[in-house]
Amino acid sequence: MNKDIQHSETILIIDDDTELTSLISQFLTMNGYQVSVEHNGANAITAVTHIQPDLIVLDLMLPGVDGLTICRQLKPNFVNPIIMLTALDDDIDEVTGLEVGADDYLCKPIKPRVLLAHIRAQLRRQSHFQSLSFQDIRQVSNGALTIDIRKRIVRYNENEITLSSAEFDLLWVLSMSAGNIISRDELHKEIFKLEYDGFDRSIDLRISRLRKKLGDDPKEPKIIKTIRNKGYLLAN
HSE-up of residue 12 (Cα within 13 Å, Cβ side): 24
- The answer to whether 161 touches 155, Cβ cutoff 8 Å, is yes
Whether 3 shows a pLDDT value over 50: the answer reads: no
Q: Give the per-residue pLDDT at 112.
A: 93
Select the more confidently predicted residue: 167 or 211. 211
Domain 3-130 in CATH 3.40.50.2300: yes
Q: Residue 2 — pLDDT band, cuts 50, 70, 90?
A: very low
- The answer to whether 166 touches 206, Cβ cutoff 8 Å, is yes
Q: What is the mean pLDDT of residues 153-163?
A: 89
Q: Give the per-residue pLDDT at 54.
A: 93
Range from 27-36, 157-166, 185-194, 210-219 that averages highest in pLDDT: 27-36
Q: Give the per-residue pLDDT at 130.
A: 61
Give dist(CA 11, CA 179) in Å, integer: 38
Whether 133 shows a pLDDT value over 80: the answer reads: no
Mean pLDDT for all residues in the chain: 84
Q: Residue 232 — pLDDT band, cuts 50, 70, 90?
A: very high
DSSP 230: T
Whether 191 shows a pLDDT value over 90: the answer reads: no
pTM (two decimals): 0.64
Q: What angle (nearest 5°) sits at the alpha carbon of residue 231, between those of residues 229 and 235?
A: 130
Range from 16-20, 86-90, 121-125, 182-186 that averages highest in pLDDT: 16-20
Q: What is the mean pLDDT of residues 152-170?
A: 86
Lowest mean pLDDT, pick from 25-34, 125-134, 212-221: 125-134
CATH of domain 137-234: 1.10.10.10
**Residue pLDDT, tens place only, 99-113:** 667 888 888 888 999
Where are the CATH 3.40.50.2300 domain residues in the chain? 3-130
Please state the separation of Cα 62 from the chain's center in Å.
20
HSE-up of residue 176 (Cα within 13 Å, Cβ side): 17
What SS3 class is residue 189? Answer: helix
**Residue pLDDT, tens place only, 16-57:** 999 999 999 999 999 999 999 999 999 999 999 999 999 999
Q: What element of type H or E holds 192?
A: helix 184-192
List strand residue ranges (DSSP E) for the chain, in order: 10-14, 34-38, 55-59, 82-86, 104-107, 137-140, 145-148, 153-156, 159-161, 224-227, 231-234
